[in-house]
Each structure stands twice: as structure tokens, then as C-alpha cells.
Amino acid sequence: MATTIPAGPLAAPRSARTTRSRGSSRTNMEMVAWLFMRLSGVLLLVLIFGHLFVNLVQGEGINRIDFAFVGGKWASPFWQFWDLAMLWLAMIHGTNGMRTIINDYAERDRTRLVLKVLLAAAFLLTVTLGTLVIFTFEPCPIGAPADLLPSFCPAS
Amino acid sequence: MQTHQYDVVIVGAGGAGMRAALESSTRARTAVISKLYPTRSHTGAAQGGMCAALANVEEDNWEWHTFDTVKGGDYLVDQDAAEVMAKEAIDAVLDLEKMGLPFNRTPEGRIDQRRFGGHTRNHGEAAVRRSCYAADRTGHMILQTLYQQCVKQDVEFYNEFYVLDVVLTHDLSAGTVPDGEEVSVAGVVAYDLASGEIHVFRAKSVVFATGGAGKIYKTTSNAHTLTGDGMALALRRGIPLEDMEFFQFHPTGLAGLGILLSEAARGEGAILRNSEGERFMERYAPTIKDLAPRDMVARAMANEVREGRGCGPNKDYVLLDLTHLEPAHIDAKLPDITEFARTYLGVEPYTEPVPVYPTAHYAMGGIPTTIDAEVLRNNTDVVKGLFAAGEVACVSVHGSNRLGTNSLLDINVFGKRAGIAAARYAETAPWHEMPDDASVATVEYIERLRDHATGERIADIRRELQETMDRNAQVFRTRDSLTTALSDITALKKRYRDASVQDKGRRFNTDLMEGVELGFLLDLAEVVVVGALAREESRGGHFREDFPTRDDERFMLHTMAYQRVRGDGQGTVELDYKPVIITRYQPMERKY
Amino acid sequence: MTALAESTTSARAEVGAVPSFDVTLRIRRFDPDNGAEPRWEEFTVTAHGTDRVLDAMHKVKWEVDGSLTFRRSCAHGICGSDAMRINGRNRLACKALLKDLDPSKPITIEPIKGLPVIKDLVVDMEPFFASYREVMPFLITHGNAPSKERLQSPEDRARYDDTTKCILCAACTSSCPVFWTDGQYFGPAAIVNAHRFIFDSRDEGAVQRLEILNDKEGVWRCRTTFNCTEACPRGIEVTKAIQEVKRAMITRAF
């Protein structure tokens, strides 16, 4: 009537929930983060679809894209700001998302710490490099073939 | 073994226990011992409401409420107690509202009230709107609200602890302690389910609020845990039980399952019909029809079935018809019970009538107490420091038949009184010696049950007990049926002595506790049947087919049943009687 | 013709008889006292059409193996004792009908997740109740109480009706993936019980409760996976209640 099959190990009893401080917290990091995710999400929709439209649809569409096109865009402060906003918002949004995933799924404090340090490093690296590229981009590198450069370059 | 010391120990964390705890914990050091987490208590299953003459929606008066209670109890009610309950009902409801209970409201924002069985205007003229309610989950709201207040007051709970003995200064079980002698409580012995350890609680005051004993029957609206623990413990220690033969059968249990469908359904307009579609209650109670008291409706239903007008393939139930009510109205006022019908019987109450049949519901009897909840050890003497409230107690406000909603009232009014009285008593009372061997008997009892290597299963004995009680001591009783029940119980008690439990472990041994609970059930079933055999009349919830009328000459008395232990060590039930207290209302014929 | 006649008779014999069938329960057992590792045990019992999982488990306990341990009390979904994971979903054993669970296959029964197991299907509920107690689940008022009842319009009463239905069975909290991780999250049940008071027009403690739930382990950890809403045996819209608490915090902050 009864049969027995071994089952996998049980989760070890966990430490009791630690009682938290009752300090006043009219706004705190988590609420700001939660709000940021919603607001940046909406903004990113506009930024990304605007970006895609300008790059892929407008004019000759995708065939237009070359070094000269990119160089031309980043010569304009408007597009520099646009792409910078897109970079930062997307990176913070994504990083925060990763952070909550780590919080939700990494069970040990040590694992959490390691993962979060890695995440922060990846974030810093990407954001720093991206920002540098946007602002230090040279649209008219010396010695480049003229047909690849934007029309306003002196070499052409 | 661990020992604890508290001024007040409350046993049971249902409505009465927690209401008592709210009072006593502000006045004295209090612990609540409960075999369940407090929110699991069966108060939460009560549905319909709690009556109080607030007169929020129509004219009402607490004196009318007293009369209805007395008449509903077929005049076996102690009228001083009924007066106290009806009068204090108003404050009891307002107390709960102030604690945050979410009552349904009138358009003006006051507590709404609705009709309920047996509650009438001006001594029986017509049904009155007296029941304060929160949809059909009033008991749930009361239990949650009381627990919330206990959290607020930081009441100390011992959850999943079974109290298995109450320690008194005298051994009353032989009946040799003379009347008038001062007998006091010293504490209780409890069993911690999680560890299997024994804990001894020394206390000046002990309040029993352990609830009912519906599990002596098979078909019951009661929880599996309602095994009459407090009643049986008192009985074994020589304290009498009052009026135990009066057991209420709620008319509308889901057929075959016993799950309760509140009287509120009929209060909102539902109608009982037999197989011919007839509204048969018109024949039994021409004035208030389907809202007659529960004993009359339950008997009428059983009678319809017996005379072949039952419904279904086996003609063994009648129908509760809500189909003429607006679905929106049903959803607003009766959401839970309609869901029970859908979940458990697959019946859609909007369009189909629901199969129902009487189900064992409430013990009118219990540990006899004064109106201050002090436990009586005979007709006059109290046990000092021992209190009881709620279904476990018999004040007696319900007499031979309880009116709907009066149990929620009972637990609030007398729970509060018990808490106050227990704390007051503890202020001045001395500590009584807790004997070193206080827990020996308890340990022996459970070890004997555990150590039987082989033996009959607890569940088999329990099933036979419940079946014989359903067959022989239910709505209709005769000398023959009761004699059969009694001989069955005697045989089962003998078999119980050799029964064994399968689980021999210490940790969370529910098998062992079911074994202990069966012992309680057997003792209580015996008291019910012995009392019913001796009461050769029909009154309220007790109907003898061989004595179908009320006999005020011989039986206008409370039964007091004692378990006396004689030479052979086995207890026998001995009966005595106690006069009924009559203040305003002389017994009349009970017609509705 | 004969066959037809036969089937009619047998059909007639079955009228009224509740059909019975065999059902196999695959139950996760664990008893640390016996030093045993957790294991799956299968029991086959005969059940009837209207039986619930709890009835089948009682049959096992009462007829086969008395040591099978679980909590139960009212047996009709109102006391909240018997929340367990049945076929991978949190339910009350007394509200899950066998016939709705495809009894032709074994029915798996495990303790609810995220709370320490004591024995078989019994878990330690203390962490769960500790969270509940932390949100101050009681009416908070200031000033003198009126001599009669506090007034509340039916509309104000309806505002928090849904969350008054909670029976503290822990089905929601123990179905929440965020709670599973480390048990530090307050959990849906605590938030539901805070909601019940935050939106009660009579209550004056909403600010305190919102501050408590604005914690790092508070409402912001909710990922709206809707497991809790799906698990609730009382049909409470748990996720919606959590979102309403979030909204109340945002509107308070700005």
C-alpha cells in the first residue's frame, strides 16, 4: 500500500527574519529605485524608439548608416545628449534590475556581495567608456579615406 | 518537565479565551494556552452574526431579547443569566466595533442588523432585525479582531500546547468532599506538541475556554479539534457537567458533509423545501416559518425525510432554496456559504437549491458556572479560582436550545466576565501548593497509550463511537436507541483501554493527541447518553419519541452529571439535578 | 439489445451511489527524530467523488500510517491550518477536491515552501506570524472613543473588505519566490493585513504602517508575479492589495 522513494535534501532551516529598524523613512532607496524603474522605463521607450527611427527608418533607412553618419550625429550636442541619456538610463535601469535579481535569487550574503561587486564593476566600466566615447569622439580622424568621412571634415 | 507560574492561565484561544485574555492581561500576569494557533479556533467558523438590541434599524429592546432567549431555550434557561447576556450584549457589540471589527453598515454608517431564527419583536410578534453581522463571516471577524487586540496588548500565548489535567486542592472524583468545604485550583498540566514535553503551569486562576465537543457525532459542523477537552478534564476531576443531553443540531448543514450553511441564509430570505417543493416549515411554525428556532427546524427536516418527502436519490435530505434571491444580494450578504455549496457539492446556489440536512453543531451543556463564570462543583459551591466561559461552560443562557447568534454573544459577554473575575480573584488569592507529582497521572496516561505495542486503532474506535451517536442519540431519541448507544459506548471504552497509536515519536505526535482526545469524547458521549436516558421528556434540542412532550413537573431542572470513581477505578456517571432560576417568565407552551 | 438493458440496470444501481475511485498520494515525509532523510512515500487509498485531499490524507493517517503528520482543524477552508503544496500549487487540503486534481495520476503533497519543516507537512509558522505582528495589525485610534459605535459608510467599509477575508494560512507568503530566497521579505500576508487597516477609514495608524512597509524588505520587493493571488484560498486579490499599498506610499511621499 505504501512505497518509499528517497527525496532530495530539505532546505536547511533559515535564520529568523531580522527585525528591522523602525526609523522614519519617508523616502528610501528602495522606493526611489522602484520609482526610477518606472519613470526611466517610460523615458527609455521614447529614447530608444526615437533612436531606432532616426537610424533605421528615416530617409534612406538602414542603407545610410556608415562612419560618416555616426560621426555627423555625434558632432551635434543634441544627439550627444540623447545618446548619453540613453546610455545612462539604460545602464542604471538594467543594473538595478540585475541587483534585484541578485537579491531575489542569491541566498547567501557572500554570494550576493561578490555578484554585486562584479555588477558594479561592469556598470562603471561600461558607463565610463561609453561616456568617454560620446564626448571624445573625433569625427574627422587624420589620414582616413575621405569618402568615409562626414562632409564637414576639412580633409574632404 | 518545565514549570511556569502565572496569576491567570487561560485554556483555549477562541473567542471566549481571547476575550478573557484581553481583560485579564491588563490586570494580572496572564498566559493563554491553546492547542491551536489562536486564529485556527472554531469561533472563526461562525457565520451569521451576534444579536444585540441596538435598535439601529428598527425598534428593539434587550428585554425582548431576554424573552426570546428564554423561550428559545424552552424555559430551561437560567433567567438571571439570560438577562445579563441580553443587557451586556449591546456593550459587547460596541466593544468589538471599537476594537476595529468591520461590521456591515447601514446607509447612515451605523452597524447594520438582520433577522435571525427565534429573535422576535415584542415577545414573539414577528421576526426582528437584531443580529449585527459582517457578511457571513462574523465569527471570522470576531476571532481576527480579538487576536489583533491580543497582538496589540502583547498577550503571552503558548500555542499548540494541550492541557491534559487541571490540578485542584482536593480530590473531588470520589464525591467524598463535603459541601461547603473550600476547594481551589492550583494549576494545569500541559503537553507541548512540538517537543512532546510536559509543562506544569501553576496559577491562582484558571479559565477554561476550550469550546465544544461536536466530534462525538459523525455529521457535525465542528472542527476535528473540538473534542471537549475542557469538559472532560473537569468531569474527570469530579466537577459535574450540566445539561449535556442537550445538543443542538443545526438545520442547514451541507448534506452528507455537515459543513455549516448559516441561518443567515434563511434570515436573508432563503426557504426550505421538501421533495414536493413545499415550503414545509409553514406547517411546523406558521408565524415565523423558516426562522423558527433550530431544534424545531431540525426536527421538521428530519421528519420530512422520515415521512418520505426527502430529496435526492436516497431521499435523505431537503433543499435550501435561494434561487429567488438576487445574485448580487447573495454575493453581498452570503458570499462564503454559497462558495461552500459550489466547492463541496458542485451546486450553484443562484440557480439550484442546495441539499441540506441537520448537523451536530453546539453543546448547550457544559461545565456549570455562575454568572461571573465561576465553576460550580455542586449545586451551590464554586471551585475557587476556576472559571469557564463559552461553549465549554453552561451558565445556563441557552437552556435546552440555543438561539442563533447567541453563542458569539455568550463568548463575548461571559469571556469578558471570566477574564475580569479571574484577574480580580488572583489579586488577593493565595498561591496553592502544586504537588510534586502533579504531572505523574498525565505522563502515565500518555505513555500507556504510546507504549501499547499493538492494539486497536484509535480511528476505528472513534468512528464506531461517532456512528452510534449519529444513529442513536441524534435529533430523535428513544429509550431503546439510547440504551444501544450506552452499551456501545461502554464496550468502546473497554476497547479504548487497549488501543494503541502508531506514532511512537516525541516530536509533533498528532496521533498520540488524537488518542487522548478519543478518551475525552468517550467520557462525554457517555454523559450525553446517560443524561438523555434519564430525561423522560422532550424539550428543546432533546427529543424523546417515547416522551414527546415537555414535562415541567418532573424535568424543569438542570441535569448535573458527575463521574464518580469507585473501588474498581472505573468512573461511572451519576446524575443529580439543579433547579432552574426563573425571574420574569413563567414556562409557557412554545409556539412560533 | 441485451447490452443496452444491462447498462440501464447498472446505471440504475449506481444512481445515488457516490462513485468511488483509487487515488495515490505521493507525500513528502520528514521526521528528524528518526534521523531519516526526507523521502517521498506513496499511499493508495479509495476515495469518493466528493472527497477532498484532506479526506484522503485522513484515510492514510487513520487506516494505514498513523505517523503521517499534518495540521488540520475546521476542514472547510476557514481556519487556515492545512495549507500545503499540492501538485506544485499552494492550496488548503480541505478545499482541494480530489476529482479536480486528476486522480488518475499520483497527487504530490509537500509542505509549504520557505518555512522550516518540523515534521512531514508541518512547518514552523513562527517566522510567518512574526512578520504579521510587525505591521501592527490592529486598529489604531487617537482621542476618546465615542460612547456608541464609530460611524463608517458602506462605501468606506467596502474599501477594505477584500483584505478582511485573510485567514493567515500562509499560502500566499509561502508561494512567493521573493520570500523563498531568504525569508526576510515581509511577505504578502503581512502586507494584506496592513492593507486591511491602512484603508480602514476609522484607523489613524496608516503612516506608521506605511513607514514599516517602506523598508528594504517591505513592499518594494514585490515583483508582481501574482503567485500570491493565485494561491489565496479566500480569493483575495493579494497582488492588487500590495500595489495599493505601494501607491499609498508614493502619494504620501510626493
Residue B218: Cβ within 10 Å count: 19
Residue B373 near residue B388 (C-beta atoms within 8 A)? yes
Q: Please, what are the averages of pLDDT over each run of 10 residues along chain C (254 residues)?
A: 41 53 95 85 92 96 95 95 96 94 93 94 95 96 89 96 97 94 90 97 95 90 94 96 95 85
Q: Which of C43, C133, C216 to mutate to test the interface with A (most CBs of A within 10 A)?
A: C216
Alpha-carbon distance of A138 to A142, in angstroms, equals 9
What is the rounded average pLDDT for all residues in chain B? Answer: 95
Q: Do residues C87 and C197 share a domain?
A: no
Q: Is B495 annotated as a binding residue?
A: no
Q: Determine the pLDDT at residue A10.
A: 55
Residue B307: Cβ within 10 Å count: 11
Nearest residue in chain A measured CA to CA from C23: A1
Report the run of H or E that residue B412 belongs to, with start and end.
helix B406-428
- For residue C166, tell me if it sits in a domain: yes
Strands C20-29 and C107-110: parallel
Chains B and C touching, counted as 3 or more CB pairs less than 8 Å apart:
yes
Q: Determine the pLDDT at residue A58.
A: 83
Q: Determine the pLDDT at residue C18.
A: 62
Question: pLDDT per residue over B358-367, tens digit each?
Answer: 999 999 999 9
- For residue C145, tell me if it sits in a domain: no
Minimum-distance CB partner of C50 among B37, B134, B344: B344
Question: pLDDT per residue over B113-167, tens digit each?
Answer: 999 989 999 999 999 999 999 999 999 999 999 999 999 999 999 999 999 999 9
- For residue C1, tell me if it sits in a domain: no
Backbone angles phi, psi at B309, to 5 degrees: -105, 25
Q: Subunits with at least 3 CB pairs below 8 A relative to chain B? A: C
Radius of gyration (C-alpha) of chain B in whole angstroms:
23
Question: pLDDT per residue over C63-117, tens digit each?
Answer: 999 999 999 999 999 999 999 999 999 999 999 999 899 889 999 999 999 999 9
The DSSP result for C117-165, as a single string, is EEETTEE--HHHHHHHHHT--S----SPPPSSPPP--HHHHHHTTGGGG
**How far, CA to CA in Å, does A151 sit from each of A74, B391, C36, C211?**
13, 95, 79, 59
Determine, for residues C215 and A16 on separate chains, whether the beta-carbon distance falls below 8 Å: no
Supply the range of the domain harboring residue C49.
17-123
- For residue C113, tell me if it sits in a domain: yes
Residue B208 near residue B387 (C-beta atoms within 8 A)? yes
What's B439-573's CATH class?
A: mainly alpha
3-class SS at B313? Answer: coil
Q: Do residues C105 and C132 share a domain?
A: no
User: Once rounded to an integer, what is the mean pLDDT over residues B284-302?
Assistant: 92
C-alpha grid cell, residue B200: 506544569
C-alpha grid cell, residue B491: 464496550
| Residue C41: CATH number of its domain | 3.10.20.30
Amino acid type, B118: G
C-alpha dihedral over A129, A132, A137, A142, to 10 degrees?
-80
Residue B478 near residue B486 (C-beta atoms within 8 A)? no
Minimum-distance CB partner of C67 among B40, B99, B503: B503
Chain A to chain C Cβ contacts (< 8 Å): 99
Chain B to chain C Cβ contacts (< 8 Å): 163
Q: Do residues C160 and C226 share a domain?
A: yes
Count of domains forming chain C: 2
User: Once rounded to an integer, what is the mean pLDDT over residues B367-372?
Assistant: 97
| Residue C204: CATH number of its domain | 1.10.1060.10
Q: Determine the pLDDT at residue A68.
A: 84
Question: pLDDT per residue over B48-92, tens digit each?
Answer: 899 999 999 999 999 999 999 999 999 999 999 999 999 999 999
Q: What is the pLDDT along chain A (156 residues), one digit of tens a residue?
A: 556 666 665 554 455 556 554 444 445 788 999 999 999 999 999 999 999 999 888 878 788 888 888 888 888 899 999 999 999 999 999 999 999 999 888 878 899 999 999 999 999 999 999 999 998 888 888 877 877 788 788 754
Alpha-carbon distance of C53 to C42, in angstroms, equals 14
C-alpha grid cell, residue B216: 462525538
Q: If 0-12 CB within 10 Å is exposed, 13-18 middle and 19+ buried, where does residue B427 land?
A: exposed
Q: Do residues C32 and C79 share a domain?
A: yes
Q: Determine the pLDDT at residue C47.
A: 92
Q: Is B329 annotated as a binding residue?
A: no
C-alpha grid cell, residue A132: 568617454
Domains of chain A, residue spans = 30-138
pTM of the shown model: 0.92
Q: Which of A4, A31, A109 to mutate to test the interface with C (most CBs of C within 10 A)?
A: A31
Determine, for residues C97 and B508 on separate chains, whether the beta-carbon distance falls below 8 Å: no
Alpha-carbon distance of A68 to A156, in angstroms, equals 12
Q: Determine the pLDDT at residue A27.
A: 54
Residue C54 DSSP code: H
User: Once rounded to an integer, what is the mean pLDDT over residues B337-351?
Assistant: 91
* No. of helices (H) and no. of strands (E), chain C: 9, 7
C-alpha grid cell, residue B317: 435530505
Q: Determine the pLDDT at residue A2.
A: 59
Q: Determine the pLDDT at residue C93.
A: 97
Determine, for residues A35 and C250 on separate chains, whether the beta-carbon distance falls below 8 Å: yes
The residue among B375 and A7 whose pLDDT is bigger is B375
Q: Do residues C133 and C109 share a domain?
A: no
Strands B393-394 and B367-368: parallel
Determine, for residues B40 and C34 on separate chains, whether the beta-carbon distance falls below 8 Å: no
Cα dihedral B553, B556, B557, B558 sign: positive
Nearest residue in chain C measured CA to CA from A5: C40
Residue A55 DSSP code: I
Residue C187: Cβ within 10 Å count: 27
Residue B392 near residue B212 (C-beta atoms within 8 A)? yes
**How far, CA to CA in Å, does B156 sit from each of B26, B32, B389, B422, B585?**
12, 6, 19, 16, 43
Q: What is the ipTM, given to two decimal places? A: 0.93
**How far, CA to CA in Å, does C87 sit from each of C96, C102, C107, C110?**
11, 10, 6, 8
Report the run of H or E that residue C181 belongs to, with start and end.
helix C177-182
Minimum-distance CB partner of C66 among B105, B503, B507: B503
Determine, for residues C181 and A19 on separate chains, whether the beta-carbon distance falls below 8 Å: no
Alpha-carbon distance of B213 to B217, in angstroms, equals 9
Of B522, B524, B500, nearest in space to B512 by CA: B500
Backbone angles phi, psi at B87, to 5 degrees: -70, -45
Q: Is B496 annotated as a binding residue?
A: no
Q: Determine the pLDDT at residue A23.
A: 46
Q: Do residues C238 and C133 share a domain?
A: yes
Question: pLDDT per residue over B215-274, tens digit each?
Answer: 999 999 999 999 999 999 999 999 999 999 999 999 999 998 999 998 889 989 999 999
Q: Do residues C101 and C134 share a domain?
A: no
- For residue C179, tell me if it sits in a domain: yes
Residue B394 near residue B366 (C-beta atoms within 8 A)? yes
Q: Determine the pLDDT at residue A14.
A: 53
Catalytic residue ranges of B: 294
Q: Do residues C186 and C199 share a domain?
A: yes
Q: Which residues contact B176 (CB under 8 A, 6 or more apart)?
A: none
Residue C201 near residue C159 (C-beta atoms within 8 A)? yes
Residue C252: Cβ within 10 Å count: 14
**How far, CA to CA in Å, does B264 sit from each of A65, A114, B395, B404, B519?**
75, 60, 26, 9, 35
∠ CA B269-B273-B277, nearest 5°, is 120
Q: If 0-12 CB within 10 Å is exposed, 13-18 middle and 19+ buried, where does residue A2 land?
A: middle
Place of cell 465544544: B212
Residue C236 near residue C166 (C-beta atoms within 8 A)? yes
Minimum-distance CB partner of A14 among C130, C182, C246: C182
Residue C182: Cβ within 10 Å count: 19
Residue B214 DSSP code: G
Q: Do residues C115 and C42 share a domain?
A: yes
- For residue C243, tell me if it sits in a domain: yes
Determine, for residues A105 and C181 on separate chains, whether the beta-carbon distance falls below 8 Å: yes
Question: B476: alpha, beta or left, given left = phi > 0 and alpha = psi -120 to 50?
Answer: beta
Q: Do residues C161 and C103 share a domain?
A: no
Alpha-carbon distance of B147 to B157, in angstroms, equals 11
Produce one character per residue of B564-587: b if its CB has 16 or more CB atoms within 10 Å, e if not: eeeeeeebebebebbebeeeebee
Domains of chain B, residue spans = 255-358, 439-573
Q: Do residues C244 and C136 share a domain?
A: yes
Residue B518 near residue B461 (C-beta atoms within 8 A)? yes
Chain C contact for A111 (CB, 8 A cutoff):
no
Q: Is B308 annotated as a binding residue?
A: no
Alpha-carbon distance of A152 to A73, in angstroms, equals 12
Contact residues, chain C, for B36 at CB < 8 Å: 73, 79, 81
Angle B440-451/B510-534 helices, nearest 10 degrees? 110
Q: Determine the pLDDT at residue A19.
A: 56
C-alpha grid cell, residue C113: 515552501
∠ CA B41-B47-B49, nearest 5°, is 110
What's B255-358's CATH class?
A: alpha beta
Alpha-carbon distance of B362 to B244, in angstroms, equals 11
Q: Do residues C96 and C180 share a domain?
A: no
Alpha-carbon distance of B281 to B108, in angstroms, equals 35
Alpha-carbon distance of C54 to C56, in angstroms, equals 5
**How far, CA to CA in Å, does B127 sit from each of B65, B313, C236?**
11, 35, 34
Q: Which of C79, C168, C202 to mutate to test the interface with B (most CBs of B within 10 A)?
A: C79
Q: If 0-12 CB within 10 Å is exposed, 13-18 middle and 19+ buried, where does residue C9 land?
A: exposed
Chain C contact for A4 (CB, 8 A cutoff):
yes
The DSSP result for B386-409, as a single string, is EEE-STTEE-SSSTTSPPTTHHHH
Instruction: Specify whether domain A30-138 bears CATH 1.20.1250.20.
Output: no
Q: Determine the pLDDT at residue C109.
A: 97
